[in-house]
C-alpha cells in the first residue's frame, strides 16, 4: 500500500466520521439511543451463479437496508440484506453499469449512514439516463419518479455518477468511479481521484472497442460483441478484488438544492405522496396484549 492509498483511505474515514456534523439537520433517529434496530440477522446471498458470478468476490458490496412494515406501518426492528445478486435480478441482467452504480452507492452510504443502517425511507437519488444506473439507485433507495425523489442529472457529464440525498440530515453525496477504471469514451470523471492499482484489462482497448460496438448504425463483428462482454466481465470482477474505496470516490455537496442538479424535462410536475413511510414513527399502544384501547 502506497502513501496515496493510505492518505485516500484516511480522507474517506474522516469524511464518514464527520458526516453527522456535515448535514444541516438532525437525523430522524439515532441507532442505539432512541431506536434499536438489529442488524446482521440475515445472511447475505453471496453465492455465485451464472447471472451474478461476481457476488462472491471479496469486496462485492452488501447493504443492510431498513424499511417500513407494509404500506401503513412503522419501521421494522431489523434490517434485511441486499447484494449484487438482488440488484441484478431487479434490473434483469448483470452488466458493468449496475455493478458500478452499486459500488458507488456503497461508498456514498458509508458517508450518509455511519451506523451502517441504510434507511430507504429518507433517501432521494439522481443518476444518468442509463437504466443500469437508475435501476440500481431505485432499488437501493426506494426513490421513485412518481414521488419526485428519483431524478436524472441535468448535465450529461455526470452520466456515470450518482447523487444520493438523505432528507432528514439534508446531506447530499456525489459518488462515482476513480480515473483508471472508467471506460466510457468521451466522458470525464467528475471527481479528481484516481486509482493506485493496475487493472487487468486495458481501459483504452475497452474504450476503442465500445466505440466500434456501440456506434449508432455500426456493424460490429460477432467476435467484437463477444470480446466486449468478456472484457467488461473481467473488469468488474477485477475491481471487486480490491477495496471499493480504491476504485470509487465520494464527496459531500455543500448547499445542495435538488433543482440545481436534476433535469426538469425528465421529471413529473404532479407527484404522488409517499404513504408507506407516513407512520414509520407512530406510537405504540400502551397495552399491546389487551386488545384495542
CATH classification at residue 52: 3.30.1330.130
Q: Is position 279 within any domain?
A: no
What is the rounded CA–CA span in Å between residue 267 and residue 46?
35
What pLDDT does residue 293 have?
A: 66
8 Å CB contact between 127 and 160: no
What pLDDT does residue 23 have?
A: 52
Q: Is position 135 within any domain?
A: yes
Residue 213: in which H helix or E strand, if any? helix 203-214
Q: Is position 5 within any domain?
A: no
Distances (CA, A) of 175 to 10, 100, 105, 108, 124: 17, 10, 7, 6, 14
In the beta sheet, which residues pair with residue 250?
175
What is the rounded CA–CA span in Å between residue 121 and residue 277?
6
Residue 60 has, within 13 A of its CA and on its CB side, a CA count of 25
98 closest CA partner among 145, 124, 134: 134
Q: Is position 134 within any domain?
A: yes
64 closest CA partner among 51, 76, 54: 76
Q: Is position 43 within any domain?
A: yes
Give the residues of the chain that fall short of pLDDT 50.
Answer: 1-22
Is residue 158 classed as helix, strand or coil in its secondary structure?
helix
What is the rounded CA–CA span in Å between residue 183 and residue 211?
11
- Cell numbers 412503522 correspond to 74
Q: Is position 69 within any domain?
A: yes
- Could you tell me the three cell numbers for 172? 447530499
Alpha carbon dihedral 156, 257, 9, 105, in 10-degree steps, equals: -60
What pLDDT does residue 216 have?
A: 63
Q: Is position 285 within any domain?
A: no
Number of domains in the chain: 1
DSSP-derived letter for residue 254 is: T
Residues in contact with 249: Cβ distance below 8 Å, sequence separation at least 6, in sequence order: 107, 175, 176, 177, 178, 191, 192, 193
Characterize 252-266 residue by residue with b for buried, 16 or more Cβ atoms within 10 angstroms of its Cβ, and e for exposed.
beeebebeebbeeee
What is the rounded CA–CA span in Å between residue 136 and residue 91?
7
Q: Is position 72 within any domain?
A: yes
What is the rounded CA–CA span in Å between residue 149 and residue 164?
10
Domain range spanning residue 155?
11-268
β-pairing, 150-152 with 123-127? parallel
Residue 171: in which H helix or E strand, if any? strand 171-177
Amino acid at each position: 500500500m502506497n502513501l496515496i492509498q493510505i492518505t485516500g483511505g484516511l480522507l474517506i474515514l474522516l469524511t464518514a466520521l464527520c458526516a453527522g456534523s456535515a448535514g444541516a439537520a438532525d437525523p430522524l433517529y439515532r441507532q442505539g439511543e432512541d431506536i434499536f434496530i438489529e442488524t446482521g440477522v440475515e445472511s447475505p446471498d453471496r453465492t455465485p451463479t451464472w447471472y451474478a458470478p461476481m457476488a462472491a468476490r471479496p469486496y462485492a458490496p452488501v447493504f443492510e437496508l431498513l424499511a417500513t412494515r407494509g404500506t401503513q406501518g412503522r419501521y421494522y426492528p431489523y434490517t434485511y440484506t441486499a447484494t449484487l445478486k438482488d440488484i441484478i435480478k431487479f434490473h434483469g441482467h448483470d452488466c458493468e453499469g449496475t455493478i458500478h452504480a452499486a459500488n458507488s452507492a456503497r461508498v456514498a452510504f458509508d458517508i450518509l449512514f455511519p451506523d451502517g443502517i441504510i434507511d430507504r425511507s429518507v433517501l432521494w437519488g439522481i443518476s444518468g439516463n442509463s437504466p443500469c444506473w437508475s435501476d440500481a439507485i431505485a432499488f437501493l433507495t426506494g426513490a421513485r419518479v412518481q414521488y419526485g425523489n428519483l431524478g436524472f442529472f441535468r448535465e450529461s457529464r455526470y452520466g456515470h455518477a450518482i447523487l444520493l440525498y438523505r432528507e432528514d440530515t439534508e446531506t447530499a453525496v456525489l459518488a462515482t468511479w476513480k480515473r483508471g477504471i472508467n471506460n466510457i469514451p468521451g466522458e470525464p470523471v467528475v471527481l479528481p481521484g484516481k486509482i493506485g492499482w493496475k487493472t487487468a484489462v486495458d481501459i483504452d482497448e475497452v474504450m476503442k472497442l465500445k466505440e466500434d460496438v456501440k456506434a449508432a448504425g455500426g456493424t460490429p463483428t460477432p467476435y467484437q460483441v463477444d470480446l466486449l462482454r468478456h472484457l467488461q466481465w473481467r473488469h468488474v470482477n477485477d475491481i471487486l478484488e480490491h477495496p471499493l474505496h480504491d476504485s470509487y470516490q465520494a464527496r459531500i455537496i455543500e448547499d445542495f438544492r435538488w433543482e440545481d442538479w436534476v433535469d426538469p424535462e425528465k421529471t413529473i410536475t404532479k407527484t404522488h405522496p409517499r404513504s408507506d413511510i407516513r407512520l414509520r414513527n407512530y406510537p405504540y399502544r400502551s397495552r399491546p396484549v389487551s386488545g384495542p384501547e
